[in-house]
Structure 1
Amino acid sequence: MSQKLITFYDITTKAKPNPGPSPFTAKVRCALNLKGIKFTTVWLEYPEIEAECKRIGAPPTGKRPDGSLLYTLPVIQDLSTGVVMSESNVILEYLDKTYPDTPKLFPGNTLGIQLAFDAAAQTRLLDILPLVIAYIPAGLNPVAEAHWRSTRERQLGKRVEELEPKGEARVAALQKTQASLGEVDGWISKSGEGKFIMGDEMTFVDISLGAALCGVRVALGDKGAAFWEEISGWQSGRWEQLRKACEPYHK
């Protein structure tokens, strides 16, 4: 695969050319690299996403509260098939079917069970969001930060900094997050002694959880390094090990 087959649309942040805090774009980048599919990245600031998605014919991924269509990244444009596709999980399913001679993300008949496991695990991981969200704006370029803040804060009705728990509330939020990740760790522990969740080969669930963890680490940045060190020690270091295993594929 010497020719670049895929145009991959990713979100520009201060981390560029490395992934920003979005676990969804990181998930697709990781899958493309794991599969060895050659791709070119088009970097977009948040305010540019909707217009570019409409220009290339990318499907909307939802609706805003006012009923207007919502366009988000990741998006891929497959130059070999003409397909333009959005939504990370849909993209990963497409890559497995369209490029069958590359490492499988959903080996055997595991598509349904992996999607179900990931949905349950991601629900638990959401507990960390209030502890992380206030760090995200610092990693964005000024034009993207203004757009990101205005859209999120309009929906939430408050500044993102106000969402971060303080004092005893933060202690409680940390305990809840650690317990939720502990529940996921318990599920994974029942899978056996393999390096990854389904054995010795990285599959979809590893990529998805690894992308979420990498997103948290990027969002925390230098200011939140001590917090990440704390997370790294939970569940015998499982989350840092998974993040490090996925990190080389996020380049």
Structure 2
Amino acid sequence: MATQTEPQIVLYDLACTKNVCFSPAVWRIRLMLNYKRISYVTVFLEFPDIEPTLKGLGLAPSQSASGSKYTVPAIQHTPTNTYIMDSAAIAPFLESTYPDPAVPLTSELGSEIEAKARAVVGTAFRTSVMPREIGILSPRAQDYFRRTREAALGHRLEDLLGLGKEDSVWNAVDGDIRAVGELMRSRRAEGPFVLGARPSGTDFFIAGSIQAARVVDEGVFQRIIKYPGFEEVYEACQPYMEKKV
């Protein structure tokens, strides 16, 4: 656990007009930093500035199915001047560097929950959150976001919300979301988190996604929080959400 007065971490986050964190991937790391009480400062980047900024720091692009890319979160570990990009790489670095209190990053139950949540909640969030996300971006970032997302979608962002499509998507995955919520409650007798009494990487994945949706649109937040399991994990993680910038 960090005790120095100088920040141990510089966290590169995604900028929005509300001036708080709204990226689910960044929230996953922010929750971990807050839980471990690691001192950090945030540098917010507009969408068009992520690649040139991270390139300028000497980071190599990540490899994905769509090719090389730069993304947030990224961090600088100031004591060693180490730069790391992507939550999947940052989380184990933080866990090994700051092991107390421990955050189990993987578990059989957690892996199952995350995979199913990505498939079903991810579908609903893409429909509800993505077209509304543009509303909390600067004009410059809006242009970038619309151009890149609509190229991938093959249609306008607003089409995701048209003609009852949003309700249809949520109705189609309703039972599956409930099933994921029940999985999250498997160890409810032991504590409010997925694995019981203490949070894990899966709790931060779930709570971070919900908080990100809440920043974008309160209505989407209310829609997901009604499902048992999701509300309990979100509320249990509230103490680690106080630092949002």
* TM-score, normalization by structure 1: 0.85
| Distance (whole Å) between structure 1 residues aligned to residue 166 and residue 111 of structure 2 | 31
Partner of 1:45: 46
Relative distance call for 1:166 and 1:231 in structure 2 (3 A) is farther
Worse-matched range after superposition: 151-160 or 27-36: 151-160
* Alpha-carbon shift at residue 126 of structure 1 (Å): 1.0
2:30 match: 29
- Contact residue 14 and residue 72 of structure 2 kept, 8 A: yes
Residue in 2 that maps onto 1:182:
178
- Residue number in structure 1 paired with 2:231: 240
Q: Which runs of 5+ in 2 are unaligned?
A: none
1:151 has 2:154 as partner: no
**Equivalenced residues, count:** 236
Aligned to 2:222: 229
Q: Residues 192 and 230 (structure 1 numbering): CA distance in 2 closer, same or farther, change over 3 Å? A: closer
Q: CA deviation at 1:43?
A: 1.1
Q: Secondary structure of the equivalent of 1:13?
A: coil
- Deviation by residue 1:82-117 (Cα, 9 ceiling, x = unmatched): 3211111221111111112x21111xxx63533454
Aligned to 1:121: 117
Q: Displacement of 1:226 after TM fit?
A: 4.0
CA contact (8 A) 1:59 1:85 kept: no
Partner amino acid for 1:57? G
Tell me the TM-score normalised to structure 2 length.
Answer: 0.87
Distance 1:36 1:103 in 2: 9
Query: Is the 2:10–2:42 Cα contact (8 Å) retained in structure 1?
Result: yes
Tell me if structure 1 keeps the 8 A contact 2:72–2:86: yes
Superposition deviation, residue 248 in structure 1:
4.1
Q: Secondary structure in 2 aligned to 1:26?
A: helix
CA displacement 1:169-207 (0-9 Å, x = unmatched): 443312223222211112123223211111111111111
Q: In 2, Cα distance between the equivalents of 1:138 and 1:248?
A: 28
Return closer, same or farther for 1:152/1:230 CA change in 2, 3 Å cut-off.
Answer: closer
- 1:249 corresponds to 2:240: yes
Runs of 4+ in 1 over 6 A off after TM superposition: none
Name the residue aligned to 2:103: 105
Q: Which amino acid aligns with 1:201?
A: R
Aligned counterpart, 1:19: 21
Name the residue aligned to 1:77: 76
User: What does the per-residue CA deviation read over 1:135-191, in whole Å, with 9 as the maximum and x for residues that have no partner?
Assistant: 110011111111111111122221111122532x44331222322221111212322
2:214: which partner in 1? 217
Q: Secondary structure at the match of 1:91?
A: helix
- Give, in whole Å, the separation in 2 of the partners of 1:245 and 1:171: 28
Q: 1:165–1:173: 8 Å Cα contact kept in structure 2?
A: no
Return the alpha-carbon distance in structure 1 between the equivalents of residues 36 and 185 of structure 2.
26
